[in-house]
Structure 1
Amino acid sequence: MPVNPTPPALDPTPLLEVRNFSVSVQSRGTVLPLVENVSFTIGAQDIVGLVGESGSGKSVTAMALMGLIDSPGVSITGSARFKGQELVGLPDRQMRRLRGREIAMIFQDPMTAFTPVYTVGWQIDEQIRTHERLSRKQARARTVELLAEMGVPDPTRMADRYPHQLSGGLRQRAMIAMALSCNPSLLIADEPTTALDVTVQAQILDLIRGLRSRYGSSVLFITHDMGVVAETCDATLVLYSGRIAETGRTEALFAQPSHPYTAALLASIPPLDGVRPARLPAIAGAPPAPQDRPPGCAFGPRCAFVHAACQTNPPPPLINTGLHHQAACLLPAEGHALPQHQPVASPLS
């Protein structure tokens, strides 16, 4: 099988369709919701951004979709259909066949994702041979080709190095090579540019943007950086306290956010033109822990537009605020629009 296959033709059927997806954990006799009623779709060769602060539930959502949360106190409900196959409740044996081959993940910290006692090349070889009928020699050749495709210099020598012997940028490239080793249809990238310098970030983002044209892959891109989303994603989901606050095509969502949380995230990025402020606006406070959510809107205590109804009533279900644009907020439901913000600039541009 070639390393760089011809991308498949676009299929109108969603590659991944998630509906009312929830993750909860039982603690001291109390059920705490970590992720609640999250719904979205990812089409063929789409790049979809999942955005929010730390603690918003982004990584929990990804790990649950991958079947990597197996603690006895955790409950996963709802539906997640991948190529028509239900993932929720799928037996471990069948899920292992999908992981790596059909659905792959770039973990947030490649230093801890790689096993430190094996070379990087051995670990990529092992994944290839687990899912493909290739000899050790063929798997090794493919590993070297993949590392070269990811821009790793001297890939033959680098394949024989241990994770701690590679720089952060090279480890991330090796992690992407391992994720792509079986040409997955869906790649979940969990904060792939965290702790990398700006130049390496730009290179990693170029690699991820090129995946759909070179490999035909779709990407669920998890990040807290709205500037990166603006550069990379076709559609965006904004997650807050385990719930979707706003979702839509990236261009529409950035042009006119309908949820105060989205607007606050965008306001924290330097504007494209004009005088840059000496100090960027910050969102006061922090997202609530699952056990400390307020009775009304979870964002209410930090919201500049909060009013009495927000403090007592839960936010409404997602309502249409434009073409391919929805928000879960009382403001648009009551006919109020947020003030239009300035366009944002990516820190990589």
Structure 2
Amino acid sequence: MQNLSVHVPAQGQLISLVENVSFTVGAQEIVGLVGESGSGKSVTAMALMGLLDSPGVRITGSARFKGQELVGMPPRLLRRLRGRDIAMIFQDPMTAFTPVYTIGWQIEEQIRAHTSLSRKQAQQRAITLLAEMGVPDPAQMAQRYPHQLSGGLRQRAMIAMALSCNPSLLIADEPTTALDVTVQAQILELVRGLRSSHGSSVLFITHDMGVVAQTCDSTLVLYSGRIAETGPTADLFAHPSHPYTAALLASIPPITGPRPAHLPTIASAPPTPHTRPVGCAFAPRCTYAHTPCTTSQPALVPISAQHAAACVLPTEGTPLPPRLGTVQTAQAHSAPHQTGTTPL
């Protein structure tokens, strides 16, 4: 993806929800897209999937998937890709599933839409997928309606449907938000295993930096629709170079060292798209903010070969508190992903 921007009409003008977002998801790589609610994470995913079709929405930039340009692709061609080559796990499986059809029927429908399998073969494929996702008694569960399953089982069924056609790219939009910690850990383990079991690359969207640490190879931090920082997860966690990233990391309870009496919080709230300040969007909430932060929007500054931050502090030599040793990152316990042609 290169310089993707999403503009919507509001108050008689075009307002940018996402602005010049660029990143790459490598073959069998898990990339985290993180930020507070309203930062533009889901909008970015919806733009990739071609699901922002409201009147007046304008999407610019480039999003290439296996050599094909997704931005501006005709809906007929997008429908061939969605579900087959690019699949999405939505935030709330209760609203993502159609309530009047069984779980199995909905998985079968996607399989038959993108493959040549017969109805009986699609039914068996759906049951097999539910079993692979750890759903107990999958044949019986396939006959149930969404409201008859718990949140964890609905999420597993949503993942099964997303994987039904072995997509090259899976977009997981906050798949663990509404789940308890035990089920969340199980879902994260499933996501981490996708690259070995199905050969999928994953774009993992979340607001939880702890989840990113456990799951993602590299991380992109969004703030108010713009990139704040990007880099390998281990490097970004050990050496945050944007105050927003450092503040997100500081809000994670430490697993080593003394137990803090109170976790730090970020004052106030992010700006709305039509109230962004002239300079750095984070400046009104930043304890490091000074004059250069309020005059112009900072560009992404290279910190290392793969690490960059949109902040003036790195060029001024202002270090931020390191987080090394506080949170175990995915690189410490996940197998290296394969290299190859980037799917996105």
Same fold (TM over 0.5): yes
Aligned residue identity for 2:153: L
**Selected match of 2:52 from 49, 66, 69:** 69
Equivalent residue number for residue 335 of structure 1: 317
Residue 27 in structure 1 maps to residue 33 in structure 2: no
Q: CA RMSD in A?
A: 1.5
Residue 321 in structure 1 maps to residue 290 in structure 2: no
Instruction: Note the 1:219-238 alignment, pairs <5 A.
Output: 219-238=202-221
Instruction: Note the 1:121-160 alignment, pairs <5 A.
Output: 121-160=104-143
TM-score normalised to structure 2 length? 0.94
Q: Quote the Cα distance in structure 2 between the aligned partners of 1:241 and 1:108.
A: 20
Q: Shift in Å at residue 275 of structure 1?
A: 1.6
**Selected match of 1:48 from 17, 31, 49:** 31
Equivalent residue number for residue 7 of structure 1: none
TM-score normalised to structure 1 length? 0.93
Residue 242 in structure 1 maps to residue 229 in structure 2: no
Equivalent residue number for residue 208 of structure 1: 191
SS where residue 108 of structure 2 aligns? helix
Q: Quote the Cα distance in structure 2 between the aligned partners of 1:228 and 1:125.
A: 31
SS where residue 41 of structure 1 aligns? coil
SS where residue 32 of structure 2 aligns? strand
Q: Does the 8 A contact of 2:268 with 2:285 survive in 1? A: yes
Higher relative contact order (CA 8 A, sep 6+): 2
Q: Does the 8 A contact of 1:268 with 1:282 survive in 2? A: yes
Aligned residue identity for 2:286: C
Equivalent residue number for residue 83 of structure 2: 100
| Identical-residue share of aligned pairs (%) | 75
Q: Does the 8 A contact of 1:266 with 1:344 survive in 2? A: no
Q: Does the 8 A contact of 1:128 with 1:181 survive in 2? A: yes
Q: Shift in Å at residue 212 of structure 1?
A: 0.1
Q: Cα deviations across residues 193-216 of structure 1 (Å, max 9, x unaligned)?
A: 011000000000000000000000
Q: Shift in Å at residue 345 of structure 1?
A: 3.4
The unaligned stretches of length 5 or more in structure 1 are 1-17
Q: Shift in Å at residue 72 of structure 1?
A: 1.1
**Selected match of 2:260 from 269, 272, 277:** 277
Q: Shift in Å at residue 29 of structure 1?
A: 1.8
Q: Quote the Cα distance in structure 1 between the aligned partners of 2:328 and 2:106.
A: 34
Aligned residue identity for 1:58: K
Aligned residue identity for 1:32: I
Q: Shift in Å at residue 346 of structure 1?
A: 6.8
Residue 117 in structure 1 maps to residue 135 in structure 2: no
Aligned residue identity for 1:291: H
Q: Shift in Å at residue 335 of structure 1?
A: 2.8
The unaligned stretches of length 5 or more in structure 2 are 334-344
Q: Quote the Cα distance in structure 1 between the aligned partners of 2:235 and 2:303.
A: 10
Change (3 A) 1:223 1:346: farther
